[in-house]
Structure 1
Amino acid sequence: MESLEARLSECTQKTALLEQSQWHQENEIRLQAWKLEQLESRGMDENESKVKQLENRLREALEITNKLMKEFEMLRLQSKLDNTSSGQLQACEKCEQDTQGQSLGHTSVRINHDPTSENGKISGGISTSSRMKRTSGLGKTTVAFAVTMSEWRESTLAVHQLLPFNKVLINDGNGFDSNLESFVCPVTGIYFFTATITSSNHKFEGSIVIDGVEKVIITTGEGPNFEQGSSSVVTHCSKGQRVYVFAHIGAVGQISETFSVFSGFLITDLESMSS
């Protein structure tokens, strides 16, 4: 009888120990689950924060680009106004000289009866008028474009593969060709070009290129989150030359559609100035 009671007591103690151990295990599981939820929540918050930061940086970059475009446009217009004023002043001075010359020429005709002198003066007057017309025609060429990508892409980019900029935001002057994914200069001049690339998971390396000649390099950081890189250049571009963005060797990863922008505009139309 005592042996049975001892065994029952021992079983009761073991049961209590098992229940206590199970309670500890359940608490440990709850604690680990809580920690996992906290980590996941913190990770999501960090990603959302980085996305917001990238959106803010992109917004700032676009604002800076727009500001630069306005400043360059003002400088271009001011330069053309100065050139126009200078050209008109020279033309007026030339007109006065020609008018004085015509008076002397008429006197010569009356005395010498030389018709070639009068014709020569008339020809000079027409030439001056033509120069005035050409000068007053400056400043009417407007070229500006901005493009993004039509979809999110995640792929390995080949050597010198053009980035698929094919979603047009603005294309004044019709310089950007969506089929070529390139800007084709409609007039010879001085241009401003800029590109902003946003990627994730891998580092991106590329360039802004004019007819195979790399002008500036674009790079992004390497990491699991969004990374962004931008480059700009002011350069001469002849009529018919192609301007585009291509990737370098080993540039792979995700290229965000609306976070990547390629844009540019004409600063000075050299064709109008030289005509």
Structure 2
Amino acid sequence: MYTAQMTALKYIILFCMFCGSFGIEKHDSYTKLLNRIEALEQEQRDSRLKVERLEHSVNFQSKVIQSQARQIKLINEELFKTNKLLQQSNRMSTSNNRKITILRQLLFQEAQSKHNQKTDGSVSGMGSLPKQKEQKTQGEDFVDVQRPRSQAWLKKRGAPTGDSSLIKRQERAGISFSVYLDHDLTLGPHQTVKFNQVIINDGNGYNTNTGVFTCLEAGVYMFSFFIGQRSETDGVTAAYAELVINSQNMVDAVVETYHQYQDLQGGNTVIQRLKQGDVVWVGLMLSGHAHIEGSGSLRISTFSGVYLYQ
């Protein structure tokens, strides 16, 4: 509309100039006016070009933003998949740790069995005679004195039977426990984690109602604990746990999650000499509240202890 008006005005002025109805002075002023009109038209054309360039730039930036948004979406999907793989890896690691623990126990039992057999053989050889055979009195059969004797055979004849403390410890039931948490907990600082499900509790030293192990016999014990945590929201969520003996902190564990639905586990192990009546438990430390994950199928929050030696 503006361009059409300017063009019409220009033609009217030209028409008046050629008709001779204006003087020379008026002719000069109208020439200046026409030049001004042409300058304004040029500025308008330049402005249009700038607007078109800006529109092109805006469209290009919009496409770039859309492309970046798609890339961010793909990255988020990859992060989600990676988090799932990490969760699966953590579960596999937990399972492998359990298998390793079982294998270690089996190896320890096998080594202890070989040690006992070796002890039995050395003890039976101590009472051997220079002769290979001796004849029993009162009509008994001949007995090969070089053959290794059993513990019962040696005990019946009053012979020494190896390390008495080791034999005594083997004869009694033993002291050990392993428990886990089968439900989620939210606890405050210095509250005790009550692991309520028992895997083994030889000696009944662990109390599921209080979450406390009471030492039944003085000696050296090994304790280990693990705390699991699952984050329900994005952001850092932390749980700080400690193993306590007689209200004294021994070792600590930290679990920090950074993403929603992330499962992590933290724990620690300690070997300590205890006196009869000493108490041991796992509790939370620092201020605030912490969420601990527990499950009957995924047993990632556990507490274990075993008597080693006097």
TM-score (norm 2): 0.54
- Name 1:61's counterpart in structure 2: 97
Structure with the bigger RCO (C-alpha within 8 Å, sep 6+) is 1
Shift of 1:245: 0.9
Q: Report the AA paired with residue 220 of structure 1.
A: V
Whether 1:185 and 2:215 are equivalent positions in the alignment is yes
Which of 245, 254, 267 pairs up with 2:291?
Answer: 254
Shift of 1:167: 1.8
- Name 1:97's counterpart in structure 2: none
Quick one: distance in 2 between partners of 1:168 and 1:218? 23
Distance 1:138 1:152, change over 3 A: closer
| Matched ranges for 1:202-221 at <5 A | 202-215=237-250, 217-221=251-255
| Matched ranges for 1:115-126 at <5 A | none
Higher Rg:
2
Aligned residues: 226
Is residue 203–residue 219 contact of structure 1 (8 Å, CA) maintained in 2? no
Larger helix proportion, structure 1 or 2? 1
- Name 1:101's counterpart in structure 2: none
- Name 2:85's counterpart in structure 1: 49
Shift of 1:139: 1.0
Secondary structure in structure 2 of the residue aligned to 1:158: coil
Which structure 1 residue ranges, 5 or more long, are not aligned?
A: 4-16, 94-127, 271-275
Shift of 1:232: 1.1
Secondary structure in structure 2 of the residue aligned to 1:204: strand
Distance 1:149 1:244, change over 3 A: same
Moved over 3 A (4+): 23-37, 67-90, 128-132, 134-138
Quick one: distance in 2 between partners of 1:250 and 1:181? 21
Q: Report the AA paired with residue 55 of structure 1.
A: R
- CA displacement, residues 93-144 of structure 1 (integer Å, 9 cap, x when unaligned): 9xxxxxxxxxxxxxxxxxxxxxxxxxxxxxxxxxx96997x94544123232
Whether 1:150 and 2:182 are equivalent positions in the alignment is yes
Is residue 194–residue 209 contact of structure 2 (8 Å, CA) maintained in 1? no
Quick one: distance in 2 between partners of 1:81 and 1:267? 20
Percent identity over the alignment is 20
Shift of 1:153: 2.7
Which structure 2 residue ranges, 5 or more long, are not aligned?
A: 5-51, 129-156
Shift of 1:33: 6.8
Q: Report the AA paired with residue 234 of structure 1.
A: I
TM-score (norm 1): 0.60
Distance 1:219 1:251, change over 3 A: farther
Quick one: distance in 2 between partners of 1:88 and 1:184? 39
Q: Report the AA paired with residue 96 of structure 2.
A: E
Secondary structure in structure 2 of the residue aligned to 1:222: strand
Quick one: distance in 2 between partners of 1:60 and 1:224? 24
- Name 2:34's counterpart in structure 1: none
Q: Report the AA paired with residue 263 of structure 1.
A: S
Quick one: distance in 2 between partners of 1:214 and 1:82? 41
Distance 1:164 1:137, change over 3 A: closer
- Name 1:229's counterpart in structure 2: 266
Quick one: distance in 2 between partners of 1:192 and 1:37? 49
Q: Report the AA paired with residue 67 of structure 1.
A: L
Distance 1:191 1:165, change over 3 A: same
Is residue 227–residue 241 contact of structure 2 (8 Å, CA) maintained in 1? no
Secondary structure in structure 2 of the residue aligned to 1:264: strand
Shift of 1:192: 1.7
Quick one: distance in 2 between partners of 1:137 and 1:86? 18
RMSD of aligned alpha carbons: 4.4
Secondary structure in structure 1 of the residue aligned to 2:238: coil
